[in-house]
Every structure is written in C-alpha cells, then in structure tokens.
Structure 1
Amino acid sequence: MPTPSPTSRPSPTTATDHPTHHEGPAAGPHPGGPSSGIGISGPAARRAITAAATAPQYTGNIVTARQARQIRANPQLALYDNPNPLLMCVYKRDKALCHRGTKDTPSLDRCVPTCANIARTDQHAVGLRRRATVVAQRAAQVPGPLGERLRSNAGRLRDLADAHHRTRTTLQDGTA
C-alpha cells in the first residue's frame, strides 16, 4: 500500500485486501493469515484478529460492487496500515487519539503511540528492528548530543519490537 501523501485521505484496507502478512493480517488459513501463527500485538490486536477471522474469504468468485461496498462500509473490517510508524490502525472513532470529532477515518499522519487503535504485526516488528539498525549506524557517525539522541531513538525502536514479541498473540496460541 503506498504511503499516503499529506493531502490525501487515507483509504481503509479491509481484512480481505491483503493476501499475505506483509501489510497486516489477512483473512483465512492461507500462508500469512492469522491462523498460520503470524503474531499481532497492541491494544487493538484482538479487534484486528476478529476482523481477519470474520471477514468474508476470497474464494475466487467475483464480488459484486454492492458486496464490495458493504465490506468497505463495515467499520469492524477497516484496517489502516501505517508504514511510517510501522503499525496498523484498527480504527474505532471513539478510541482514536489522532483526532477528536466526527471524522470517520484516522489521521495517519498524527498517530499517537498510546492510542487504543494500534496493533503491530510481526512484519512491523521486523521493520522496527531494521529501522533501529539504520538509526544506530547513523548515530555512530554523529558526535555529541545528536548522536546520543539517535542512539536513544534506536533503543526506543528496539524496545517497541521487543514489546511486540513479548505480548504478541496468534490464533495458534489459543489466546485470540
């Protein structure tokens, strides 16, 4: 999914939009879906698993435009991948910290780390570790306070990845 531009509106992805785990949970028992052991963590992890587990599976049949609109209109199936902070928003308006009001979509450029709509997949955690490595390499080349700040940021990214792995759940765990 492309990174949204600052002026574009985010588009929801439904649990059936992504056939692999690379951009969030996928519906069904195919490789990469939640039943394959891929982990998810965060305050909204259970809602993301429920969305993936209850979403209609793509069986190779052509879906009508009406059916597609119904799937996209179901707020329980709306998952927003947010590649910049490496997380997924399982959007529920009354829990959103990115804005207050009546907006029906999240403000992905204003993600708040303590939001109850956040979920992370194993792929997000891998991305956090990669980003931490890059930031740590840059920190080694920068002296003084800027280097310290970069090292701190790399540590924070590793801590987020570690927290994901400590708290992740899968359908195989029997904890979802």
Structure 2
Amino acid sequence: MRADRLVQAAAAALVLLLAAGAPARVAESSERGPGGSIKGSGRMEKRVVPFDEFSRIRLDGAIDIEVRFGDEQKVEFYLDDNLVDNLRAESTERTLTLDWARECRPSDGSLLAITAKKLEAAEIRGAGDIQVSGFPGGTFTYELSGAGNLAIDGTASELVLVLSGAGNV
C-alpha cells in the first residue's frame, strides 16, 4: 500500500509541474549507456562555431578530430543531435579546449573538423583519433593520455610525442 501512495504522490507532483509549464522529459533506457553516459541518437547535426586565435588543441573526452589549416579559425561539429549542446568548446590562453558537460557516447561518424591558422600542439585525454592535414611547418607536440591515433602529413621541423596509453602514430 505504501508504494502505491508514493507512486500516486509522484504522479501528482509531475502533473503539478506540467501544469506550471515546467519542461518534462522521460528518459528511455536506450538513451543511456554504460555508467549513465548519454548515448548518441544517430541523427547527425552540423554546427559551425568561429573561435579566437588558438595554436593548441586539448580534448578531454572521446571523439575524432580532423585538423586543416586556413585563415578563418573555426570548429565544425558533426554530432548526434542530442549531444551537440553537451559538447563544451572554449578558447583561452591560445588553447582550444573540447570536452563533454556530461559523459556521452557519440555515434560512429561523429567528428570535430577544426580549421586553424597555426597548430603547435594537440593533447588528447580520453579516446579519439586526430588527423592533421597539410601541417605547414614548425614544431608539433602530440600528447596522448588514453587511446587514440595520430595521422599527420606535411612538414615539421620537430615532432614531439608524449604517449601514455594506446595508439599509433
């Protein structure tokens, strides 16, 4: 009997919240992954965000990155529609930092396409492959703490690798 009263009270509280205009969302079990992580919907969305100058990239989380070079610095997000607003991206002290507000599992094909004027370093803390196309020269430092692969083409005067985890270069 007591459990029935709790269910009735919860239902009444939900009705009051809905009547007051509060948003409600019932999470399906398929939306949650291991450990409560948010599972990508599979419906891909693209968003383009310009950024102030940065010369370093830091990823805290799991997603693949492609870097190319150009005059307009930006990040193109190709992500599940239910994860786009969960990705945090900010540029401070010449470092573009990317991470998730809440742990999630993006669908295959999710990608961050970054256009940079200059790139000195990339640091991956988590899991993700990074491909750097047309590196224009200078020193490039790659730090991996987790799992990921680096593919880089171009000309570098010095390549510094700091690997603590699993991956290929």
Instruction: Give the TM-score of the pair, scaled to structure 2.
Output: 0.23
Higher helix share: 1
TM-score, normalised with respect to structure 1: 0.23
Bigger RCO of structures 1 and 2 (CA < 8 A, at least 6 apart): 1
Higher CA-based Rg: 2
* Structure with the higher fraction of residues in strand conformation: 2
